[in-house]
Amino acid sequence: MSSYLIGLVGSGIGPSASPALHEREADQLGLRYVYRLLDLDVLRRPVADVLAAARLAGFDGLNVTHPAKQAVLPHLDELSPEAAALGAVNTVVFDGGRAIGHNTDATGFARSLSRGLPDVRLDNVVLLGAGGAGAAVAHALLALGTGRLTVHDVDGERSAKLVSALRSRFGAGRADVGGLDAVRRADGLVHATPTGMAAHPGSPLPAGLLRPELWVADIVYRPLETALLAAARARGCRVLHGGGMVVLQAAESFRLFTGVDPDPERMLRHFDALDGETARAA
């Protein structure tokens, strides 16, 4: 029986569903699989130290979440083409002493949106958040055919850097930096900041900007019903919570760690059982 030691690096990750998602799927596939939380708030060590310690301890791989998806980059030996293009890593595979960074967030979000809100308009979309998760979502949206993407982040320099990368990859005119008022003219809104998480309660924008014609997707999944989604639902918007994305990116990470193809539908059912709610749109 093959065995694997995997970890999750990030801050405030106690409520994460990742350990149960990975371990339950491994059980179904006959793999011995241990998944550990490496919480930066608890360890009080920089991500470089945690990465080095995991490598020495014989970990087979790591998932990486907020706030380390970009901070981990200088400490890796190699990046996959996707991770290099996004400038963010959520999966690290240790292979022959080398730490190789990958990104499964973009495909996870794209698949979640396509299955959860398959018929929504993508002509004009607003993205809130230009960090590691936001970069993945931005690339996914443009790859899915979004005509114009407006990126808003409280850090204007970070927004500008992401937009520059998007223009280099997808061409000029498809991405711009903008303010929250762009939501008034948008077909869809995607939220990719920590706001709304259990440790960061609240909504990233005033409810008055929401209207029934707008679809709203949130990548936060703890809780599934964030303040933003509750407000959007009350305004008549179609909404998509972050459950689908977290499951589908986890499935791809699992494949990278083990070389074994997981069953994404089964993992979605695992998540539903864990959370008591379906990992799909509403």
Sheet holding 188-191, edge to edge: 175-177, 148-152, 124-128, 188-191, 215-218, 238-240
Question: pLDDT tens digit string along 117-161?
Answer: 999 999 999 999 999 999 999 999 999 999 999 999 999 999 999
Question: pLDDT tens digit string along 206-222?
Answer: 999 999 999 999 999 98
pLDDT at 222: 86
Return the SS3 of 239.
Answer: strand
What is the residue whose two structure tokens read 């698949």? 111
- Which of 90, 117, 73, 111 is closest to 257 using CA atoms? 90
Separation of alpha carbons 243 and 247, rounded Å: 6
The confidence band for 1, taking pLDDT boundaries of 50, 70 and 90, is: low
Question: pLDDT tens digit string along 158-203?
Answer: 999 999 999 999 999 999 999 999 999 999 999 999 998 877 899 9
Residues 6+ apart with CB under 8 A from 132: 66, 68, 69, 70, 86, 87, 88, 89, 90, 105
Return the SS3 of 230.
Answer: helix
Return the SS3 of 159.
Answer: helix
User: Which residues are known to be catalytic?
Assistant: 69
Q: Rg of the Cα trace of the chain?
A: 18
What does the pLDDT average to over 41-53?
Answer: 97
pLDDT of 276 > 90? The answer is: no
Instruction: Pick left, alpha or beta for residue 121 (phi over 0 → left; psi -120 to 50 → alpha; otherwise beta).
Output: beta
Question: pLDDT tens digit string along 3-23?
Answer: 999 999 999 999 899 999 999
Tokens of 69: 């998806």
Residue 195 is classified by DSSP as T
Of residues 273 and 72, the one with the higher pLDDT is 72
Beta strands in the chain (DSSP E): 3-10, 32-39, 61-64, 78-79, 91-95, 98-102, 124-128, 148-152, 175-177, 188-191, 215-218, 238-240
Q: Angle, nearest 10°, between helix axes 156-170 and 132-143? A: 30
Q: Distance of alpha carbon 203 from its chain centroid, rounded?
A: 18
pLDDT of 279 > 70? The answer is: no
Q: Are 37 and 8 in contact (CB under 8 A)?
A: yes
pLDDT at 278: 47
Question: pLDDT tens digit string along 235-257?
Answer: 999 999 999 999 999 999 999 99
Q: Are 246 and 222 in contact (CB under 8 A)?
A: no
* C-alpha distances in Å from residue 164, one per residue of 95, 160, 244: 32, 6, 29
pLDDT at 281: 40
